[in-house]
Amino acid sequence: MSSGVDVEWKGTDMTFASPEDKFGIKLQSRPRRTLEQNYSMIAGSAYFVGGIIGFFVTGWSYPTEMIPSRALFGIFMLNPYHNIVHIAVGLLWFLGAFALTPAGNEGLNIAIGGVYLLATVIGFLGYLPLLAITPTDPDNYLHLVTALATLIFGSGLLSAMSGRRAATT
């Protein structure tokens, strides 16, 4: 039943073409994320989500009060102000992970690690009641672990020890 007429399909030659061939748009390859940027992304996610979950425990009332029934998992004392600080730190980590250069992200991680180390010392001394942190609060240990992990994973220390740092600079 062929009539012997060849059909020419117009426009089908671009079906499997790359965006550069179709539209003249040159795709740029994304630079690989560094270990420090990945750490910032993970830590930022944990602290941001922890701050949001904290509001389900504390609500918005009594922003700086220390109420024992408002403990996250029955362990960490919280108040709305504490939740806001965790959300802000999480957003800073996201900034480092997605918007800063690898060197800028490392600097931000060193700063955040230093602040958490200072918060640990001040918390153990009992000078953080504004954030519902007492000298015996387990939150002090969480801050210590966060500070050490941030200074180790986020500062480029592991990259320098593995030799990746020398190859990229």
Residue 142 forms part of a structural domain: yes
Residue 27 forms part of a structural domain: no
Residue 114 forms part of a structural domain: yes
Distance CA 104, CA 43 (A): 16
pLDDT value of position 121: 95
C-alpha dihedral sign at 57, 60, 62, 65:
positive
Residue 77 has phi, psi (to 5 degrees) of -70, 135
Number of domains, the chain: 1
Quote the domain boundaries for residue 85: 33-158
The size of the chain, in residues, is: 169
Distance CA 43, CA 19 (A): 35
Residue 17 forms part of a structural domain: no
Residue 169 forms part of a structural domain: no
Residue 20 forms part of a structural domain: no
pLDDT value of position 12: 58
| Amino acid symbol at 15 | T
Q: Whole-prediction pTM value?
A: 0.74
Q: Quick check: helix, strand or coil at residue 71? A: strand
pLDDT value of position 169: 46
Residue 111 forms part of a structural domain: yes
Q: Could you identify the residue written with the tokens 């602290």?
A: 47
In order along its 169 residues, the chain shows pLDDT tens digits of: 556 666 665 655 656 667 677 676 676 666 788 899 999 999 999 999 999 998 998 888 877 777 766 777 778 888 889 899 999 999 999 999 999 999 999 999 999 999 999 999 999 998 988 887 888 889 899 999 999 999 999 888 887 777 765 444 4
Q: Could you identify the residue written with the tokens 């700063």?
A: 111
Residue 18 forms part of a structural domain: no
